[in-house]
Amino acid sequence: MRPADNTNELIKKLQLKASADLDKRVHDDISRALAESQKTASVGTRPNIWRTIMRSPITKLAAVAVIIVACVIGLSLWRTTGSGIALADVLARVEQVKAFRCKSSATINPGKPDGVEFRGSSVFSQEYGSKHTLEARAPNGGWEPVGERYFYPQKKMFVQIGHPIKTYFRWEVDDAEAQEQQESLSQYIDPGKLLKDIMACKYETLGRSIINGVEVEGFRTTDPNCRSSFSRSLIKDPQAEHDVKIWVDVKTRLPVKCEDFASGLDEMENPGIIQCITTDFEWDVPVTAAEFEPPGVPDGYAVVNARPEPSDEEAAIQGLRQCVALFGKYLESIGDGTEATEIIFLAIEKSEAPAVLRLKEKVKELMEDKKLDRVRRAGWPLRRLIWFYVRLMQDKKDPAYYGKTVTPKDADKVLLRWKLSENKYRVIFGDLRAETVSPGKLAELEKALQKW
């Protein structure tokens, strides 16, 4: 035995191996638990992603934003469904509308124990902007406020209030962004956009029906291109089923009800059902500027002044730059379906690059609950890169990423590319220079990549 002053070191050397019998026992138990949880999932008690998100204070604000925006999905959906003459009439009528109100509801896994239910109301004005409020079903069966979102084109400002996290989020937009938002707001009366959407969708007529005593005509599409952004954000399954309906008042030629149903697997590969309904439209309602005034900061709410950071080409380049700064090379993969957080954490965990080691050293001293936040902050540009790539995939922009083989020194190698139009591709090279090229040139560049 070594001298006793080495006792502590000796204790650290104690090492037994778990037996094969223990391995089997534990793995069998885990398998049983997995089988049971899958069985339970069929009756809907597995945690769904949105319940998880709403439990997390970190993600609540983002969730509130998505859900509030989702309140208006019906309004954009009806642009993309419908039939020739009837919808042309609808379009003509809506073009004249200056302001309207509507109510929306969104239910995830309706009727199941893990179901999450939201409801919201919206008012739009060409002149004053928009206002949305959102509530969630409370455990006691009542409704509790989740958030509010305001856009003021004249003040070029957004305000978003997250009630569960007591945060008052406010950011200003520049002229271009304000214009973009305003155009986005009035897109539903853009005849060109409408016609394009109709031509891109296969639809059928549902004939006539009565909704709340109003005679309506229905149109239906199961074309996945007509998916709402809300169901798109939740149901990741390419095999998911979609069913979008719009009901139009046969007298006024204005929408009465929009329905969006999607069924498939969510990002955790749990089966999920999303049902969104927009109804109670009030067209051409009188509105006043006062109704759209920014609300004050509620007592006890933290104020966050910020600008939303877009996930665009510039963000992608910043993210790639951050890869090099942290890891000394590019991430090997950014779009294989793995979540951004997971990609970044794994990359940081595996890396022994000096910057990563410094980061690890810094977080070591932090309190447990601060460590994740610190790593998240360091990885923020990477998240925007990953989100950008995911959006390119979602928008079917034919993206490709070659971080596995291309290094920062490969100035002429294609690192990331995506389609701009039929005749143009955007390419970010290994040295982070960006260029627009023809499909032929891209093929040439990528051929060289294969040889290399």
Q: Which is nearer to other proteins, 19 or 421 (CB)?
A: 19
Q: Which is nearer to other proteins, 47 or 84 (CB)?
A: 47
* Residue choice 171, 301, 345, 380 for contact with other proteins (CB under 8 A): 345
* Residue choice 299, 361, 369, 422 for contact with other proteins (CB under 8 A): 369
Q: Helix/strand/coil (H, E, C) string of the chain?
A: CCCHHHHHHHHHHCCCCCCHHHHHHHHHHHHHHHHHHHHHHHCCCCCCHHHHHHHCHHHHHHHHHHHHHHCCHHHHHCCCCCCHHHHHHHHHHHCCCCEEEEEEEEEECCCCCCCEEEEEEEEEECCCEEEEEEEEECCCCCEEEEEEEEEECCCCEEEEEECCCCEEEEEECCHHHHHHHHHHHCHHHCHHHHHHHHHHCCCEEEEEEEECCEEEEEEEECCHHHCCHHHHHHECCCCCEEEEEEEEECCCCCEEEEEEEEEEEECCCCEEEEEEEEEEEEECCCCCHHHHCCCCCCCCCEEEECCCCCCCHHHHHHHHHHHHHHHCCCCCCCCCCCCHHHHHHHHHHHCCCHHHHHHHHHHHCCCHHHHHHHHHHHCHHHHHHHHHHHHHHHCCCCCEECCCCCCCCCCCCEEEEEEEECCEEEEEECCCCEEEECHHHHHHHHHHHHHC
Q: Does the footprint of other proteins cover residue 42 (CB under 8 A)?
A: no
* Residue choice 203, 271, 360, 426 for contact with other proteins (CB under 8 A): 360
Q: Does the footprint of other proteins cover residue 52 (CB under 8 A)?
A: yes
| Binding letters toward other proteins, positions 251-270, x by CB under 8 A | -----------------x--
* Residue choice 21, 336, 361, 422 for contact with other proteins (CB under 8 A): 21
* Residue choice 44, 46, 122, 428 for contact with other proteins (CB under 8 A): 46
Q: Which is nearer to other proteins, 18 or 210 (CB)?
A: 18
| Binding letters toward other proteins, positions 267-296, x by CB under 8 A | -x----------------------------
Q: Does the footprint of other proteins cover residue 368 (CB under 8 A)?
A: yes
Q: Which is nearer to other proteins, 19 or 450 (CB)?
A: 19
* Residue choice 338, 341, 394, 407 for contact with other proteins (CB under 8 A): 341
Q: Which is nearer to other proteins, 22 or 443 (CB)?
A: 22
* Residue choice 11, 176, 199, 303 for contact with other proteins (CB under 8 A): 11
Q: Does the footprint of other proteins cover residue 18 (CB under 8 A)?
A: yes
Q: Which is nearer to other proteins, 373 or 444 (CB)?
A: 373
Give the nearest distance from C-beta 341 to other proteins in angstroms. 7
Q: Which is nearer to other proteins, 35 or 393 (CB)?
A: 35
Q: Does the footprint of other proteins cover residue 236 (CB under 8 A)?
A: no
Give the nearest distance from C-beta 309 to other proteins in angstroms. 23
Phi first, then psi: give them for residue 30, nearest 5 degrees. -65, -40
Which residues sit at the interface with other proteins, rule CB under 8 A?
A: 1, 3-5, 7-8, 10-19, 21-23, 25-27, 29-30, 33-34, 37, 46-47, 49, 52, 268, 341-342, 345-346, 348-349, 360, 363, 368-369, 371-372, 375
